[in-house]
Amino acid sequence: MRIVFLGPPGSGKGTQAQVIARSLGIPQISTGDLLREAADKGTPAGTKAQEYMERGALVPDSIVIELVREAISNGDQFILDGFPRTLEQATTLDDVLEEMNLALDAVISIDVPLDSLVERLSGRLTCPECNAIYHTSYNPPRQKGLCDTCGEDLYQRADDTPGAITHRFEIYKKQTTPLIQYYKDKGTLITLDGTRSIDEISAEVGGIITRLEKDHGVQRSYPSR
């Protein structure tokens, strides 16, 4: 299965990508996570990327595309989260997949009005170890401030600040929303109402995957979380 999750910052695409990748037992490739890891390690690409990420700007395509190319070369199934974010990235992804004789099964776009997302982003907490995502009100960890899975101290991302959030929304509107039409034209776009609970959306994503697998002749059913 090869799926792309599309949606504005805070739409829940990372959470849904994690849930479905775990259910399917295939990698979730989050360019945000890959870039943060590279920045933490202090690699040249990571150090350069960090300057852009802190401002809420897009990291140059040359860096991001290289990371994705490497990540998808390890297997023919994946869930992409946060990539592509520009038309150029989308066409490059098409070319890379074509070289591998592969294609995307679906692009799942999580639709949420931007004005409801500031609260979601400012309450978001992330695990530095496993990248699990929580929210202080909507999806709190069992023990305050600690990851349910690894027990690590959760942190608030440096780009979940009001200034960076505004900039990320502007970039999303300008650079990423054209992808909705791009994938609509290709017939791979599936749009979900992202204003519902995590479990409701997961159930719908599970149904979509089951339908896609049926088309591929695979039969399974998915637990939601």
Which CB atom, from 133 or from 189, has the smaller least distance to ligand AMP? 133
Minimum Å distance from CB 63 to ligand AMP?
8
Minimum Å distance from CB 216 to ligand AMP?
27
Which one is catalytic: 2, 13, 36, 120? Answer: 13
Which one is catalytic: 168, 174, 196, 214? Answer: 168
Q: Give me the residue whose beta carbon is nearest to ligand AMP.
A: 32
The three-state (H, E, C) secondary structure of 135-159, written as one string: ECCCECCCCCCECCCCCCECECCCC
Q: Backbone dihedral region of 187: left (phi > 0), alpha (psi from -120 to 50 degrees) or beta?
A: left
Which CB atom, from 53 or from 72, has the smaller least distance to ligand AMP? 53
Q: Per residue in 142-153, is it b (16+ CB within 10 Å) or e — as a string?
A: eeeebbeeeeee
Minimum Å distance from CB 195 to ligand AMP?
19
- Bridge-based pairing state of the strands 2-6 and 106-111: parallel
Catalytic residue status for 124: yes
Residues that bind ligand AMP (CB under 6 A): 9, 31-32, 35, 52-53, 56-59, 64, 82-83, 85, 89, 159, 168
Tell me how far apart the alpha carbons of residues 82 and 198 are, in angstroms, rounded to a whole number: 18
Catalytic residue status for 2: no
Which CB atom, from 24 or from 124, has the smaller least distance to ligand AMP? 124
Q: Which residues pair with 2 in a beta bridge?
A: 78
Q: Is 5 helix (H, G, I), strand (E, B) or coil?
A: strand
Minimum Å distance from CB 113 to ligand AMP?
18
Catalytic residue list: 13, 85, 124, 157, 168
